[in-house]
Structure 1
Amino acid sequence: MTDNDQRRRDWMEGHLDWAAQELGVERVGTPVHTSRFHSVGCRALDASEDAWLRVVYDDPEWGDGDYLGNNVAANDIQGVPKPTVKRWSEWEDNGRRMRGEVSTFVADAAISTGMTLAAEPALSEQWITDLDQALQALSTHPVPDSGVDASSVNDGIRAFFGIDVDIASVRWTAAHCDLHWGNLTAPRLVILDWETWGRAPAGYDAASLLCATLTYPDSARRIRHALAKFLETPSGRIAVLAAAVRFLRFADGGELTDLALPVRRYALEIIDQL
């Protein structure tokens, strides 16, 4: 850890202490930081009930739109197992916008500590069914104004695959937009981290999860079969290319490099079907 990382870590945990006082909860868990120390959270007691306390800061490089408010906005989504934000507060630190939230506690752990798998997960058929139903319910929610950037995806498809696709012409729905194994719990399914949810080509969440699974062929086949209704449609095939662009950009930046080849192969398979 660099000195700058340590300073950011200490700074975020200081704000976590402040948020606990402001929101009236008692910190009882070890702080958990996300990548690049963009947010921090821990288990807390809220009137003797387990809860989750989280602090995040506004960073223009992290995302477009008012993503700090997206966890609260996601409270309106019905039929999807997810945390509920109970209350929140905002403040500033030297001009930087900060946000603290108290949410319902999720007892089951995330399947992975990162976006991809570290081993084949033991997922029940009920878990697979619950995921299918959750994605169907989410797709019926009113479509938000912000989310996946169509122009950026079109540019990426052209750069990585040398073809032109009008991604804006396919059906778009509400989507989590960051569905991967670090945002899914088991043995009971809960979908975590709704900070970047918004609009996306129909099937984008299924495509993203499948791309994140391609280094584990058995699990990938299971996910592809279970979520075929989202993937094997005109918009679903375009959604696969959109998800592939995202993962290939990660690889270009030195992250998730082991996914680059299988994701490219999968995308080329889909291009042959267009």
Structure 2
Amino acid sequence: MNDVRRRAWMEGHLEWAAGEFGVRRTGAPVHTSRLHSVGCRVLDAGQDAWLRVVYADPEWGQGSYLGSNVAANEILGVPKPIVERWREWDDNGRRMRGELSTFVADRSVSAGMAPSTEPHLSDQWIADLNHALHALATHPLPKHGMDPNHLNDGIRAFFGVEVDIADVPWTTAHCDLHWANLTAPHLTILDWETWGKAPVGYDAASLLCATLAYPALADRLRTGLGDFLGPPTAHIAILTAATRYLRFADGGELTELALPIRRLALETIDQL
């Protein structure tokens, strides 16, 4: 279906889910950039909450990602929404899921993965992010997450470098850390749909790649997240993140980041 029809279809399910959850919509629908999910602010027994509807589709990904936001409720010490109620249903063979979560008052830093203007963030915000990533790293390593073979193939294809990512340390990670999934002025990490295991430092490296259009902020991240971006293990994490962003650029997205990310990757390769 085209984008206009998909928007209407998703908003119809959002309206239906509001009735099923017994909540009243108080905000306009907010769609993700690829129209994979839609959400809005609602009142649940007089309290603000967030209602979200998402669908399973082979174009988006394989696996049990529909349940990942609920599974992330077990992660402690990280500022994030909590899914309080959920249910699934089918629409002509397509699996749908509705989730009612705690409401986050602060807005995302950016509407997209990379901000269109330079974010102005306090030193405390960066310190809070560093603390959150450390807390996330202490969560028991899950079985699900990034595929080492896929990552190895990407690094080889883009940079001609042979590495064995399976041999580097792995940790629990958000796996999609960018500026649309972070709020300010108070830090909350949103969208835990793809969290799982990743090479150590991957989240910090992913955010760094999304920030390279703003060198001053990128330097602040290198300092504030130095525990993740400073050790030698960060070299593999940076190449992994760079590969993901360059795949986006190959598809016509985030093309403005392609050149600075290639520069970062080449500098990283020199340090291997």
- Please tell me the TM-score bracket, short chain as reference: over 0.9
User: What is the match of residue 255 of structure 2?
Assistant: 257
Q: Distance in 2 between matches of 1:223 and 1:126?
A: 12
- How large is the RMSD of aligned CA atoms in angstroms? 0.9
Residue 203 (str. 1) matches residue 214 (str. 2): no
Under a length normalisation based on structure 1, what TM-score does the superposition of the two structures give?
A: 0.97
How much has 1:64 moved relative to structure 2?
2.9
2:27 to 23, 26, 29: 29
Deviations 1:78-115 (A, max 9, x none): 00000000000100001110000000000000000000
Runs of 4+ residues over 4 Å off in structure 1: none
User: What is the match of residue 139 of structure 1?
Assistant: 137
- Contact 2:222–2:230, Cα closer than 8 Å, also in 1: no
User: What is the match of residue 84 of structure 2?
Assistant: 86
Q: Distance in 1 between matches of 2:80 and 2:41?
A: 16
User: What is the match of residue 170 of structure 1?
Assistant: 168
User: What is the match of residue 70 of structure 2?
Assistant: 72
Deviations 1:186-220 (A, max 9, x none): 00000000011111001000000000000111111
How much has 1:146 moved relative to structure 2?
1.5
Q: Distance in 1 between matches of 2:24 and 2:141?
A: 37
2:44 to 43, 46, 59: 46
User: What is the match of residue 229 of structure 2?
Assistant: 231
- Contact 1:52–1:104, Cα closer than 8 Å, also in 2: yes
How much has 1:251 moved relative to structure 2?
0.5
208-217 or 223-232, larger mean C-alpha shift? 223-232
The letter for the 2-side match of 1:180 is: H
- Contact 1:43–1:53, Cα closer than 8 Å, also in 2: yes
Q: Distance in 2 between matches of 1:216 and 1:63?
A: 31
Deviations 1:130-159 (A, max 9, x none): 000000000110111121121111111111
How much has 1:24 moved relative to structure 2?
1.3
The letter for the 1-side match of 2:68 is: N
Residue 160 (str. 1) matches residue 158 (str. 2): yes
The letter for the 2-side match of 1:34 is: T
Q: Distance in 2 between matches of 1:109 and 1:145?
A: 32
The letter for the 1-side match of 2:233 is: S
1:187 to 185, 188, 191: 185
User: What is the match of residue 266 of structure 1?
Assistant: 264
Q: Distance in 2 between matches of 1:217 and 1:37?
A: 31
**Aligned pairs, number:** 272
Q: Distance in 2 between matches of 1:259 and 1:149?
A: 24
Q: Distance in 1 between matches of 2:97 and 2:23?
A: 15
SS in 1 for 2:108: coil
Q: Distance in 1 between matches of 2:62 and 2:197?
A: 12
SS in 2 for 1:74: helix
Q: Distance in 2 between matches of 1:9 and 1:234?
A: 45
The letter for the 2-side match of 1:257 is: T
Q: Distance in 1 between matches of 2:34 and 2:178?
A: 18
- Contact 1:176–1:205, Cα closer than 8 Å, also in 2: yes
Percent identity between matched residues is: 71
Q: Distance in 2 between matches of 1:80 and 1:176?
A: 11
How much has 1:225 moved relative to structure 2?
1.2
Under a length normalisation based on structure 2, what TM-score does the superposition of the two structures give?
A: 0.98
Q: Distance in 2 between matches of 1:166 and 1:200?
A: 13
The letter for the 2-side match of 1:263 is: I
Deviations 1:242-274 (A, max 9, x none): 000000000011100010010011011111111
How much has 1:37 moved relative to structure 2?
1.1
49-58 or 121-130, larger mean C-alpha shift? 121-130
Q: Distance in 2 between matches of 1:60 and 1:232?
A: 37
Q: Distance in 1 between matches of 2:139 and 2:173?
A: 9
How much has 1:36 moved relative to structure 2?
2.2
Q: Distance in 1 between matches of 2:199 and 2:89?
A: 34
